[in-house]
Structure 1
Amino acid sequence: MENFVTILTEPKAFEPILNSLQMSLLATAGCVVVGVLIAYAVRRLRFVGRSLLDIGVMIAWALPGTVVAINLISAFSTGNGFSFGQALIGTFWILPLAYFVRFLPLVFRASSASLALVDHSLEEAARNLGASWPRAFLNITVRLMLPGVIVGALLAFVHGVGEFVASVLIYTSSTVPISVAINNRMYSFEMGTAAAYGMLQVVLIFVVMWFSGRLESGGGRAASRQAEQWTN
């Protein structure tokens, strides 16, 4: 119990938990926005290179985390156009970017699978009745594919909270995530504190999964009711 009290009361000890939450939430939000748009482009649009876009997104999932981290170090150790001229190595933003690159395929694939179950005629009907594409896309397509998006976001967030392989190469003293904090405490022979971090990580993931399950079931029922109304 003393280890839990130390983690929850001392700012320096609680910082890894806060870092993991912030970085995983930012990465998950980016994965949802980009993953849904790419899934829509791959599933619904016809353009040259569509298959290459699909492969390009999924290849990050096949690469080891160390490869992703080393490439990010090489790409963002100096300023470039993608980072608006700023070097991201040594800053807070490099870790959310690493999580975004690594776990975007989870949201993309889940969104793509969910979108495959949505009848394209519903969106076409809305467009024919005068709705703009953004309104039809957000109010109909996104709502109906919401359960799949939630599943992908859940997986991305959970993996982000526990990510270690890439984090250990690019973290700084002020951006230590939970996984790296556990590793550092173990190497310092602070086994009790490391175990307390691990238990808090398990509880955090359990709470997120429970909340997401409730949200998914509620969103899925609402989407089904709306689909029945549109098709009747």
Structure 2
Amino acid sequence: MDWLTPEEWSAVSLSLRVAFWATLLSLPLGVLTAYALARWQFPGRQLLNGLVHLPLILPPVVTGYLLLLTFGTQGPIGGFLESFGIVFAFRWTGAALAAGVMAFPLMVRAMRLSIEAVDPKLEQAAATLGASGPWVFCTITLPLILPGVLAGAILAFAKAMGEFGATITFVSNIPGQTQTLPSAIYAFLQVPGGESSAMRLVIISVIVAMGALLASEIVARRIARRVSGQ
């Protein structure tokens, strides 16, 4: 991308890396959480549902501050992980963690809707034939909800690419290390003559966001056709 400066390309490439790992690492937990909320009845189910969606309601800065208190070097989890050489605060790994937390509700919601659209009788029929729970999930449920899983992953990736508030609070805005696409746009707008650089990054952000929305819409239509039997 010759039309991007090295600093701009650094922000774009870091955002892609952060969004990729945030989506990939949260995907298994997202599937498990969505399945639990859609199929299981257990004490604290509504509390879990509230915690999952809490990042959508809280100001992103609050989420980032809570992450800093928890996963910072002085936090209970961050201090423990630091003894193993795992550091999140003011690192790109922390940006991935913050982006994953903020994107998690969108991922879970898309997957949950897909799971709820699957007729439970199909799973019950397989279970009565002697199939174990994990086997039923892998052979019956997962193929049917795969479009929903993909839609959730796409939305999560787009959200992670655009995450700003929690990220800048948790890992700051360090060029080349934690400066993601939104952080770079913010930084360019704070200096004279930075509008052109900010505009180029805004264009990239819009392209990524629109592409993700179109892709998720296509996948959602596939889900509707599959459920209706067409």
- The AA in structure 1 aligned to 2:199 is A
Aligned pairs (5 A) from 1:49-64: 49-64=44-59
CA spacing shift, 1:215–1:48, aligned 2, 3 Å: closer
The alignment yields a C-alpha RMSD, in angstroms, of 2.6
User: Counterpart of 1:179 in structure 2: which amino acid?
Assistant: P
Unmatched segments (≥5 aa) in structure 2: none
Distance 1:218 1:41 in 2: 24
The TM-score with structure 1 as length reference comes to 0.82
Aligned equivalents of 2:216, 2:45: Cα separation in 1: 31
1:26 CA drift (Å): 1.7
Counterpart in the other structure of 1:135:
135
Aligned to 1:205: 209
Matches within 5 A, 1:105-144: 105-144=105-144
Gap regions ≥5 residues in structure 1: none
Give 1:177 deviation, angstroms: 0.8
What is the alpha-carbon distance in structure 1 between the residues aligned to residue 54 and residue 109 of structure 2?
12
Q: Is the 8 A contact 1:126 1:136 kept in 2?
A: yes
| TM-score normalised by L of structure 2 | 0.83
What is the deviation of 1:80?
4.5
Task: Tell me how many residue pairs correspond in the alignment.
Answer: 221
Match of 1:90 in 2: 90
Q: Quick check: 1:185 aligned with 2:182? A: no
User: Does the 8 Å contact 1:25/1:157 carry over to 2?
Assistant: yes
Amino acid at match of 1:84: L
Matched, 1:194 2:207: no
Distance 1:87 1:203 in 2: 32
Task: Give the equivalent residue in structure 2 for 1:104.
Answer: 104
Match of 1:156 in 2: 156
* Match of residue 41 from structure 1: 36
Distance 1:99 1:159, change over 3 A: same
Is the CA contact 2:61–2:166 (under 8 Å) kept in the aligned structure 1? yes
1:213 shift after superposition? 4.2
Q: Report the AA paired with residue 134 of structure 1.
A: P
Following superposition, the deviation at residue 14 of structure 1 comes to: 0.6
Task: Describe the superposition over 1:187-228 as per-residue Cα deviations: whole angstroms up to 9, x where unpaired.
Answer: 12211111111112212223333444445555765x559x79
For residues 14-33 of structure 1, what are the structure 2 equivalents within 5 Å? 14-33=9-28
2:118/2:227 contact within 8 Å kept: no
